[in-house]
Amino acid sequence: MDAHLVGGSINVFWDTMLYFVYMKKTLLIVVSVCLLGVGLYLAFGKDDTAADQSSNKQPKATTQSNHTSSSAAPTELFIGNANAPIMIIEYGDYKCPKCNDFHQKAGKDIRREWVDSGKAKIIYRPYPLFGEDSGLALYASFCAAEQGKFTAYHDTMFSFMWDNYFSKSNFDATTQKLFSPERLGELAGEAGLDAAAFTTCAGGRTHATAYNLTVDKAASDSVQGTPTLIIGGQKIVGPQPYSVYKALLEIESAK
Amino acid sequence: MKLPLTVKLKIACRNTLAIVCTKPLYSLLTVAAAISMLTIIIWSLNYQLVGYILTNDGLSPLQKVRFFSYGYEALFSSFDSFLSVSIISLSFLFGINIAVLTYSLRRKIASTRATGASGLAATLGILSSGCAACGTSLLGPLLATLGATSLTAVHNIGAAFSIIGSLLLLYSIYKITLQTQTKNLT
């Protein structure tokens, strides 16, 4: 790059700045104040996610293993070994297309590389967005966890939505009422659960407190959409390539 | 004498190509602005994560650069192909718009309407990614409540924003380059 080009680039930059300074002084001041505010917030603003993450390092779940049934009512929904060192919090909805997109792609890689090997666990938290039946399906997750088969139920629900609707680009399904306690019972039966017990549980209010408490955690974690994952206190919004999650998981595993 | 639209379009295209393709400085500005816009679109929802990675002492500069490159994978994995193409198009047009806008500002050819269109287009571009990543999860139920019956359309709202942004940028480029004096380009 010769001197003429370098000098030309400096002139372009300077001319542009001069234009804004003289012609748009007020705008420049406003933009500068806004940028300063954003910078101060990023530098010194309270990190709600990190604070909440630290308080979640010891979740209050009484069901420690997803693979064994427990007589204690579940308060958290685990995928993988509940004693795994790395915690991944996932906010999702079974009827959410992008949640399913994550589940079909990066989610499977995370399960294979990190969860199945015992290096990480996923805490799945309901974030109902698509109608009352969406909330019902998420509430019923606790019924599945009560039988020690939340993972199977979780995978069956996402597979159901993918195979029947999202793989065919039928996104209108998210506004349709798809789930009732009886329908959920049928799907739970396909997942290997006791369908009758599950249906009874899904139609009741046994786990209402646990469900509402987990949903409320979305507010403290500043969740604004799904899927949202939290790894090491860092929030990742939207379905990202597996390499993004892998980088954060490797940072966490190095701690 | 009022020129026909086809003649105006030809003039605008010729001026745009003359600015962006024949002047290395403006070519560089086009590419830099396009990449910047694409990066902002991809990472707009996760700006806190960006800050964490940038300030993480445990990562080398190369690892940090590599992390940002992962975001571009989302164009081909997390976004459907139509949305990806629309986002890339918008970023490219944004780059061209910045180059021709800078050129016109240097020559004091002010165009408030074009500048406004540029700003609005950039905003829509960033929103398109937000909608693509998870905004449909929020917009879908909201619009369904308001009476929208086709969630397929809502699902494509990210692409719609990108397309509208691209059209605004095309309008901005057209207005700016039409005012550029041909003799200044020789």
Please report, for chain B, the start and end positions of each structural domain, with discontinuous segments joined by +: 5-185
Of these ranges, A4-18, A140-154, B35-49, B152-166, the one predicted with the greatest mean pLDDT is A140-154
- Which of A152, A145, A155, A134 has the alpha carbon at shortest distance from A201? A145
> A216 and A224 in contact (C-beta within 8 Å)?
no
Least confident stretch, A186-190, B11-15, B97-101, B156-160: B156-160
B71 or A114, which is more confident? A114
Q: Out of A41-45, A61-65, A202-206, pick the least confident.
A: A61-65
User: In Å, how far is A132's CA from the nearest CA of chain B?
Assistant: 11
Q: Would you call B71 and A244 a contact, using CB atoms and an 8 Å cutoff?
A: yes
For the ranges A55-59, A240-244, B131-135, B179-183, the maximum mean pLDDT occurs at: A240-244
> In terms of pLDDT, which residue wins out, B19 or A249?
A249
Separation of alpha carbons A11 and A42, rounded Å: 33
Compute the half-sphere exposure of residue A207: CA atoms within 13 Å on the CB side of its CA.
29
B53: nearest CA partner in chain A: A248
Tell which residue, A189, A102, A173, A188, has the closest CA to residue A139. A188
Measure CA of the first residue to CA of the last residue in chain B; give whole Å: 25
Secondary structure class of A178 (helix, strand, coil): coil
Cβ <8 Å between A42 and B74:
no
Work out the widest C-alpha separation in chain B, in whole angstroms: 66
Mean pLDDT across A151-169: 95
Question: Which helix (H) or strand (E) element contains residue A107?
Answer: helix A106-110
Q: At B59, is the pLDDT very low, low, confident or very high (cuts 50, 70, 90)?
A: confident
Confidence (pLDDT) at A90:
97
Which residues lie below 8 Å from residue A141, measured CB to CB, with a gap of 6+?
A: A77, A124, A126, A150, A153, A154
Mean pLDDT along residues A172-182 = 91
Q: Which of A133, A244, A245 to mutate to test the interface with B (most CBs of B within 10 A)?
A: A244
Judge: B48–A8 Cβ closer than 8 Å, yes or no. Answer: no
Residues of B with CB under 8 A from a CB of A: 24-25, 28-29, 45-49, 51-53, 56, 58-59, 63, 67, 70-71, 73-74, 77-78, 102, 105-106, 108, 110, 132-138, 140-141, 144, 149-152, 154-155
- Of the given ranges (A25-34, A95-104, B51-60, B132-141), which has the lowest mean pLDDT? B132-141
Q: Is the model's pLDDT at A172 over the cut of 70?
A: yes
Residue A247 contacts B, CB cutoff 8 Å? yes
Considering only CB atoms, which chain B residues are within 8 Å of A97? 136, 155
For residue A56, pLDDT beyond 50: no
CB contact under 8 A, B137 and A98: yes
The residue among A62 and A227 whose pLDDT is bigger is: A227
Is A193 a residue whose pLDDT tops 50? Answer: yes
Could you say which residues from 130 to 169 on chain A have a Cβ atom under 8 Å away from some Cβ of chain B?
130-131, 169
Q: What is the mean pLDDT of residues B110-123?
A: 68
Q: Which residues of B touch A109 (CB under 8 A)?
A: none
pLDDT at A255: 86
Q: Least CB-CB distance to B45: which of A226, A234, A238?
A: A238
Query: What is the per-residue pLDDT for B160?
Result: 77
Say which amino acid occupies B42.
Answer: I
- ipTM summary value: 0.74
pTM value is 0.74
Q: Is the pLDDT of residue A178 over 90?
A: yes
Range of weakest confidence among A17-26, A166-175, A240-249: A17-26
Q: Is the pLDDT of residue A161 over 90?
A: yes
Distance from CA of A131 to the nearest CA of B (A): 8
